[in-house]
Each structure stands twice: as structure tokens, then as C-alpha cells.
């Protein structure tokens, strides 16, 4: 009975979301509000029981001196962040905001350089390791694949090379050979975005098929009762 009740609830919520096919309406907004509310409650619960309680409250109560100092720093920054709610003293909250922005920028730049740029360079050179296990690919095909990967990586990077202005009224143009390589790189980028766009649509279609199959199963089960 409990499983049947939750299946009916899921069916109703799914139909509420599908009502957006007829335009923005109260039923769709109700489903959106429920989703946002449940998500906010879940995130709050996770933050309380996995961050605030074990990493701030417990070290302050049961920890030694060093643990209490380390726990007091995020607690102080969190309290200062609350000053953003009051316009007169909102500048006090700029201290933790600056820390969050700086830390986020450092993580983003470090992840992009170490995980994306260096990873792409390493993968490009690794593709020329013809001594690696071949699998089902022949040697000429693997060499061609490595060359395509190398050309795509280099030309895509060149396409993001922009000229600089030596004087306010003059712009230094790129050489002709670099412009040709940049066009090839833009072609590789277009193919990449097309593949990503197609992947997003395939995922959306798969989710739609799953929901329609769920609706069919629920309706058949309700009919069989």
C-alpha cells in the first residue's frame, strides 16, 4: 500500500510537470515549488548533519585547543556573512564573500589548468604511444586517430588566440597561416558542441521515455486493482 501511494504521488507530480506543455500554469508552478522546497530542505539537512554539527559544533564542544581554533574560523566567517542581510553593515560581510570568491576562483583556475589543459596535453601525447595495447584498432588507424586529436587540440587552442592592439586606432592582424588554423579549430569546436548538444537531447529523450513508461506502468497497475 505504501509503495502504491508513492507511485500515485509520483504520477501526479509527473503530470503536473507535463502540464507545462500547455504553457506556464499554476499546476506546473506548484510542482516547481515542491521541487525547490524539497531540495532546499535536503541541502539544509545535509549541511547541518555533515558540516555544521561534525565540523563546527563538536570540535568547539569536545575538541582540543587547535580543533576549537580551526572550528572558530568558519563559524566567525559564517557570522560575518549574515551581515549581508543588513544594508547598513553589509560591508562587513564582504570579508567572507571575498574569501569565498577567491577560493572559488582558485579552485576553478586550478581545476581548469591541471584537470583540463594539462590533461588534454597529456592525452594528446599519450595517443602517440604506439607501444600501448592496440585492442581492436590497427596501427595505421591509431596513428590517424592520434594525428586528428593533435590537430584538433592545437587548432582549437589557436582559435582562441586574439590579436592585441599596439595603438588605440590600429589592430594587429593575425598571420594568414594562423587564421587558417583558427578556422580549422573552430570547425573542431563546432563539432564538439554539436556532439554535446546531441548528447543533452538524447539524455532528455531518455528521461521522457522513462517517465512515459512509468505513467503506463502506474495506469496499468491501477486498472488491475
Residues 135, 141 contacting (CB under 8 angstroms): no
Q: Is residue 174 part of a domain?
A: yes
Structure confidence by residue, pLDDT tens digits, 110-132: 888 887 778 777 777 777 776 65
DSSP letter at 170 equals: B
Q: Domain containing 150: what range?
A: 127-225
Greater model confidence, 110 or 161:
110
Our count of domains for the chain comes to 1
Provide the whole-model pTM: 0.63
Is 80 a member of any domain?
no
Q: What is the pLDDT of residues 46-85, one digit of tens each?
A: 999 999 999 999 999 988 888 999 899 989 998 998 898 8
Q: Is 73 domain-assigned?
A: no
Count of alpha carbons within 13 angstroms of residue 113, beta-carbon side? 6
Amino acid at each position: 500500500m505504501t509503495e502504491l501511494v508513492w507511485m500515485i504521488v509520483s504520477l501526479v507530480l509527473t503530470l503536473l510537470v507535463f502540464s507545462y506543455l500547455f504553457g506556464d500554469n499554476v499546476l506546473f508552478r506548484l510542482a516547481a515549488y515542491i521541487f525547490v522546497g524539497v531540495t532546499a530542505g535536503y541541502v539544509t539537512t545535509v549541511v547541518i548533519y555533515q558540516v555544521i554539527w561534525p565540523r563546527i559544533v563538536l570540535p568547539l564542544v569536545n575538541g582540543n585547543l587547535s580543533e576549537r581554533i580551526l572550528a572558530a574560523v568558519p563559524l566567525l566567517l559564517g557570522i560575518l556573512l549574515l551581515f549581508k542581510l543588513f544594508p547598513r553593515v553589509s560591508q562587513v560581510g564582504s570579508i567572507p564573500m571575498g574569501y569565498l570568491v577567491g577560493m572559488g576562483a582558485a579552485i576553478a583556475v586550478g581545476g581548469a589548468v591541471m584537470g583540463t589543459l594539462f590533461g588534454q596535453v597529456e592525452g594528446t601525447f599519450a595517443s602517440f604511444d604506439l607501444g600501448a595495447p592496440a585492442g581492436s584498432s590497427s596501427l595505421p588507424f591509431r596513428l590517424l586517430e592520434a594525428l586528428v586529436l593533435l590537430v584538433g587540440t592545437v587548432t582549437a587552442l589557436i582559435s582562441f588566440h586574439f590579436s592585441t592592439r599596439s595603438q588605440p586606432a590600429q589592430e594587429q592582424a593575425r598571420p594568414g597561416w594562423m587564421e587558417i588554423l583558427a578556422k580549422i579549430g573552430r570547425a573542431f569546436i563546432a563539432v564538439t558542441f554539436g556532439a554535446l548538444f546531441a548528447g543533452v537531447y538524447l539524455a532528455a529523450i531518455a528521461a521522457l521515455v522513462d517517465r512515459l513508461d512509468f505513467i503506463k506502468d502506474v495506469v496499468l497497475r491501477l486498472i488491475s486493482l
